[in-house]
Amino acid sequence: LRSNGNSWILPGSSLPFVSTRIAARLRGALLLLGGLMLAIGNVKGEPETKRSSAMERFEVDDSQNEFYTLFRYTPVEGLAYEEGVGRRDPSNIIKVGEFYYVWYTRISGSKPTQKWRDAPETSRAYRWDLAEIWYAKSQDGFVWEEKGLAVGRGVRGAFDDRSVFTCNILIAEGRYYLCYQAQCFPFPESDQPNVIGMARADSPDGPWEKLSEPILRPSPPHPERKAGEKWHDGPLGAWDSWKVHDPGITVYKGKYWLYYKGQQSGRWPFDSKLGVAIADKPEGPYIKHPLNPLTNSGHEVWAWPYREGIALMCDWAGPEKNTIQYASDGLNFEVVASVEDIPPAGGSYIEDKFWDTGDGKGFTWGLAYVRDDWDWLVRYDCDLHREKAKTALVPYRY
């Protein structure tokens, strides 16, 4: 542009384009606008250099996690709602020949009274009281046929004469082992400690022969606990001095790893944590690991071989509820994913649970229970299998 003193003139033209005074004002305005935009840009740019606490600890979106799954529920035939019969706490599922097998807690006849103290001999205090362990078979996992009793209550005076329930299956050395929770008479209050019993058979259809002694008991309570005191009262005992529940045995590193839930006497509201007891033989003796408890959370026990270690799911209890955790040594667990809507007391079909391959794969389906006036079983499907998962997108981060 040329200037004639008063105006700027476009090249190749003799006509004034804009007065120099207006041009100077425009330039000033543009500079001011530029400055303002820079200032706003800086304010807007701030989050790039400073992050909220939540974003500071953000590592991977759930949907990008190898353990990401949604649980999808489907009704099943044969174990669905039935007036007068309660079914709950299904075992892991196994496949023998062309059939899947599942075992579960079954009650029938009278409804639980919910009268938890001093329940009389014939009155059912709660949903797993005066119960038996039954089993069912299926060819496709959707249509089940209830086959009948597997393990019943013990004779009067036995450790399992009041109730047998919440069981799990193990296949080892060519035989079948059912471990289960048991309660005995007298029955002064529902929350008295349970023990874990075991029965074995040559066929999944039985007959089942019980071991005469429990394979796991609660740790001794605090020595100053008073006789007759409620279990949640009194001085704090060991982490599993009130309850040992939800047994599940995995074959791992050539041994039998019994993962279980423990609850502490003297604590209310109760907490629950998971631990392990290990044996050289399926029947035991099961020795509680000195690192117990292995989690600070979790209620019903989910534990399965995964890669070279063990994965577990902490369901609805504790500060790390609704998480999947992994330990490459089966003992020192880290949170690796968070999940929602975990199937209540679910049992899974884990093909390699007893194979001790050192390269566990996971599972894609199982059965869980629906709490109702009479509990019933439902199927869930999920993507917790490394090779079959539909939603696992990126490699596991350990």
CA distances from 293 to 5, 191, 255, 266, 279 (A): 90, 21, 19, 17, 17
- Residue 344 beta carbon to ligand AAL: minimum distance, rounded to whole angstroms: 8
Our finding on whether 315 is near ligand AAL (CB under 6 A) is: no
Our finding on whether 300 is near ligand AAL (CB under 6 A) is: yes
CB 14 within 8 A of CB 4: no
Q: Lay out the site mask for ligand AAL across 175-214 (x = CB under 6 A, - = otherwise).
A: ------x---------------------------------
Residues 245-274 binding ligand AAL (CB under 6 A) are 245-246
Our finding on whether 128 is near ligand AAL (CB under 6 A) is: yes
Residues 26-65 binding ligand AAL (CB under 6 A) are none
CB-nearer residue toward ligand AAL: 145 or 372 = 372
User: Following DSSP, what letter does each residue of 199-252 receive, concatenated?
Assistant: EEESSTT---EE-SS-SB-PPP--TTPPTT--TTSSS---TTSSEEEEEEEEEE
- Residue 272 beta carbon to ligand AAL: minimum distance, rounded to whole angstroms: 8
CB-nearer residue toward ligand AAL: 301 or 327 = 301
- Residue 342 beta carbon to ligand AAL: minimum distance, rounded to whole angstroms: 12
- Residue 89 beta carbon to ligand AAL: minimum distance, rounded to whole angstroms: 5
Figure out which of the listed residues 68, 87, 89, 241 binds ligand AAL, where binding follows CB under 6 A: 89
Q: Tokens in use for 202? A: 């040559």
CB-nearer residue toward ligand AAL: 87 or 299 = 299
- Residue 245 beta carbon to ligand AAL: minimum distance, rounded to whole angstroms: 5
User: Following DSSP, what letter does each residue of 135-180 receive, concatenated?
Assistant: EEEESSSSBEEEEEEEE-PPPTTSTTSSEEEEEEEEEETTEEEEEE
CB 382 within 8 A of CB 374: no
Contacts of 377 (CB under 8 A, 6+ apart): 76, 79, 80, 87, 88, 90, 102, 104, 144, 367, 368, 369, 370
Q: Which residues bind ligand AAL (CB under 6 A)?
A: 89, 128, 165-166, 181, 245-246, 299-300, 345
